[in-house]
Chain A
Amino acid sequence: MDMGSYIVKRILLAIPLLFVISLITFVLINLSLLDPAVVVLQAQEVPQITDELIAQTNEALGFDKPFVIQYVNWLIACMQFDFGSSYVSGEPVWSLVGPAFLNTLKLTLVSSVFIIGLSILLGVICAMREGRAVDKSVRGLSFVLTAIPSYWLAAILIWYLSVKLDLLPTSGMDSFKSYILPVIVITVSYTGIYFRTVRSSMLSNMNEDYVLYGRASGLSERKVTLHILRNSLQVAVSIFCMAIPIVLGSTVVIENVFAWPGLGRLSVRSILNRDFPIIQAYVLILAVTFVLFNTISDVINAAMNPRLRKDL
């Protein structure tokens, strides 16, 4: 199978999955025992909710229609990128979720570059020096750093680098300087996990036969190492691809500490306000991102290893 048709098939396979996700999201949210109109009115902080107002709201928002019709209407609108309006502010969901998503994406991508770069670097170093002092110290240190709660590390860094030394802003998203602290904190929390994958995959490859043959046929150590690295990264690619949506979905703590106007904060606030259209959009976006990166990782792997393209 050539790459083109593989990619097309892979994408087609993702579509039913997205359907199922959208249905589950919609059903779960509608399972709530609360009267949706009351939820909307509370979200709008209307001080006193009367029965007549509830009836008006139900009609205006179509909550009086049967469930299936509500779902189909919502789905059709979604396909046209119309996710409805926020219960709280009445603004289109997209105008709230879009910018927040981009902000979080920026933070995630910058952090991912550092996480992946550092993981490969440290993984390779540790694998090459397995069991030696460098390996042990890096692993020990990463163990400790991964265990440190990120909000604590963040607070310490803000206090020292921003307040005491006055080098960086404490929070917000004003310039490239604003990225430094959150990226450091995210990188520290995830590198410790991912460099281990690189390290162990390097180590298992080192014991493969091809390494022995390579050495036996007189390849230089550098060339052997490059071969090992290339093969090890195949495993790492899929893990790194999934790291991006994982980081994307878990920046909420960092966003809170650094007042980053991102998706995590928006989603938590929406959950507390029961701003369902935004929650639905959030779940969909995360689901799409996971499916997307999963597909990307499969495609990359398939490109690197033609055998994987066969059985689809």
Chain B
Amino acid sequence: MKKGSAFGLILLLLSVITVLAGCGQEEGTKKESANSEVKSELIYASAKDINDMNPHLYTGSMPAQGMVYESLVENTVDGIKPLLAESWDIAEDGKTYTFYLRQDVKFHDGEPFNAEAVKQNIDAVQANAEKHAWIKLSTKIVSTKVMDEYTFELVLSEPYYPALVELSMTRPYVFISPKDFTNGGTKDGVSGYHGTGPYKLIAHKIDENATFEANEDYWGGAPEIQKITSKVLPAGETTLLALQKGEINFVFTDDRGADSIDVEAMNQLADSGDFQVVRSEAMNTNMIVANSSKMDNPVHETAVREAIWVAIDRETISNDIFNGTQTVADTLFSSNVNYAHVELKKREYNPETAKELLEKAGWTLTNGKAVRTKNGQQLALTLYYDSNSSSQKTQAELIQHALKGLGIQLEIVGEESTSIANRRATGEYDLLFNQTWGLAYDPQSTISAFTSDSAYKHTTSGLTQAEELYKKIDEVMVSTDDASRQLLYADIMRIVHDEAVFIPITNGRVTVVAPKNLDGISFKQTQYELPFEQMNFK
């Protein structure tokens, strides 16, 4: 068997591997022990490092910042509630806010949290105001004043209705110990990461892990989970294997809306009996964003965008790709978003309508060709998806297939989320996956981003009504009267809906995969943080 010997050996090896693999099936007991080691702590996987935790800049991981830092007020289902401020007054002119602070709060380094610290922090943010242009409050703060030890006054240049909402956000208006400031501020970096939150950052190894420890002196009572570790793991197989092995015991939807493991893997973990899967309510809208400003590209045409909209079978995406865990979205903002009760044209899934729209717009199929053309131009587009998302690729493939049937050639390209963000900012895209910013930020922040170069400027600037749209957006942000706000928002939503530049797919939720015996899993009004301090092991 001279010639066959090599093959013989390989076959033997393969069969040995297979047999060994078969033997391993009944290895349930060992995993138990691995799980019990980490019973009192949570170790979660994250595709990215926690990065720079400076709360007044934007590279840090939001879930991690959410554990360490706190804001004056909190955005809840029932509206704005006290957090570091016990109460507040708004003067009649709508410009002066007086905050009465909690008196029992200390930063993690022991420094007192008081009006002086609040002033120093807000001044530090304002000293770098250009970087915070997205949050309109940063353009309206005129003065900050310490009234007494625990009373702080904030004066705005004009009344601004989302002021409290913007103060409640994860960044930048949160508080770090003034002892951590460098050069009297935070814009050149900070020397430590001492917040007031329920967890302290105690160790950080770049690109490996970060450890958070319960803040025993937390004003809201020490959290029950003693230790939380964020471990940097690539999404997909590596994360799933680490969960199965018990090296990590927690994963959740990241701040880009991507789940590190797919629904099938989640179900597999839930079936194993060791894990539970918990989902939040609809938090945001997953959508495809169309670049209306690309003049020489078919995507510039409303008819093409509308055709794509009705050609996407969102029902199938919801049922088959998300197993019903995400519901079909018909509009950019779901109806539980403020100001979003607007009558909008319904666009049902219907490939025939899509064909009619394209024919009417002059995109025709010549005999034998697979792709429609108009004046010699092919109906070809590119869709970019986040390669770290477990579901976007599948959706992209489904959409690619559906559009092929209509004579639209769709190329799909997977890239890292930062690269997608770059494309969105530079306008180098036809279509890309994106999500609205989430309950606490919708509609005001998402809509305000329509005018921002780095966000949706390219999406909206190619519309014929762009000028009108931008004017209404400027108006609505400073409008003091709720009824006129209602009308303005309705107009804005109608314009982008009719023009089909934001093609909604599903309403996204935050999904948590946690050990079976973990109690108290709840969610905030944003998809960016989790209230870890409320969790405990049974």
A48 near B455: Cβ-Cβ < 8 Å: yes
Complex Cα gap A132–B245 (Å): 43
Contact A170/B232 with A48-B134, A272-B418 known, Cβ cut-off 8 Å: no
Contact A141/B130 with A42-B422, A45-B58, A169-B247 known, Cβ cut-off 8 Å: no
Which A residues form the contact surface with B (CB < 8 A)?
34, 38, 41-50, 52-53, 56, 88-91, 96, 99-100, 133, 136-137, 139-141, 144, 155-156, 158-160, 162-166, 169-173, 256-259, 261, 265-266, 269, 272-274
B237 near A274: Cβ-Cβ < 8 Å: no
Q: Which residue of A lies closest to B425 (CB)?
A: A42
Q: Is B453 an interface residue (CB 8 A)?
A: yes
B425 near A49: Cβ-Cβ < 8 Å: yes
A90 near B21: Cβ-Cβ < 8 Å: no
Among A52, A136, A170, the residue within 8 A (CB) of B2 is A136
B130 near A170: Cβ-Cβ < 8 Å: no
Chain A: interface secondary structure? helix
A136 near B208: Cβ-Cβ < 8 Å: no
Q: Which residue of A lies closest to B51 (CB)?
A: A89
Complex Cα gap A139–B51 (Å): 46
> Could you tell me the distance in whole angstroms from the C-beta of A221 to the nearest C-beta in chain B?
24
Q: Is B296 an interface residue (CB 8 A)?
A: no
Q: Among the interface residues B231, B418, B453, which one has the most CB atoms of the partner chain A within 10 A?
A: B418
Q: Which residue of A lies closest to B135 (CB)?
A: A47
What residues of B have a CB within 8 angstroms of the CB of A164 in the complex? 21, 24, 27
Among A34, A45, A99, A256, the residue within 8 A (CB) of B421 is A45
Q: Which residue of A lies closest to B1 (CB)?
A: A133
Among B1, B21, B34, the residue within 8 A (CB) of A160 is B21
Q: Among the interface residues A88, A163, A273, which one has the most CB atoms of the partner chain B within 10 A?
A: A163
B238 near A140: Cβ-Cβ < 8 Å: no
What residues of B have a CB within 8 angstroms of the CB of A159 in the complex? 241
Contact A133/B2 with A44-B59, A90-B189, A163-B241 known, Cβ cut-off 8 Å: yes
Q: Among the interface residues B2, B207, B237, B454, which one has the most CB atoms of the partner chain A within 10 A?
A: B207
Complex Cα gap A89–B233 (Å): 19
Contact A257/B208 with A136-B5, A140-B6, A171-B242 known, Cβ cut-off 8 Å: no
Q: Which residue of A lies closest to B237 (CB)?
A: A155
User: Which 6 A-B residue pairs are closest in the complex by CB-CB distance?
Assistant: A140-B6, A164-B24, A48-B134, A47-B134, A53-B130, A261-B207
Complex Cα gap A274–B426 (Å): 14
Q: Is B9 an interface residue (CB 8 A)?
A: yes
Contact with A along B39-78 (1 / 0, CB 8 A): 0000000000001100001110000000000000000000
Among A49, A53, A166, A265, the residue within 8 A (CB) of B34 is A166
B232 near A34: Cβ-Cβ < 8 Å: no
Q: Which residue of A lies closest to B26 (CB)?
A: A164
What residues of A have a CB within 8 angstroms of the CB of B131 in the complex? 41, 44, 46, 53
Complex Cα gap A198–B26 (Å): 44
Contact A47/B452 with A169-B247, A170-B241 known, Cβ cut-off 8 Å: yes
B27 near A42: Cβ-Cβ < 8 Å: no
Contact A163/B244 with A89-B59, A171-B238 known, Cβ cut-off 8 Å: yes
What residues of A have a CB within 8 angstroms of the CB of B245 in the complex? 162-163, 166, 169-170
Complex Cα gap A42–B453 (Å): 11
Contact A90/B52 with A45-B59, A53-B130, A133-B5 known, Cβ cut-off 8 Å: yes
What residues of A have a CB within 8 angstroms of the CB of B30 in the complex? 166
Q: Is B264 an interface residue (CB 8 A)?
A: no
Contact with A along B20-37 (1 / 0, CB 8 A): 110010010011001000
What residues of B have a CB within 8 angstroms of the CB of A274 in the complex? 422
Complex Cα gap A136–B3 (Å): 8
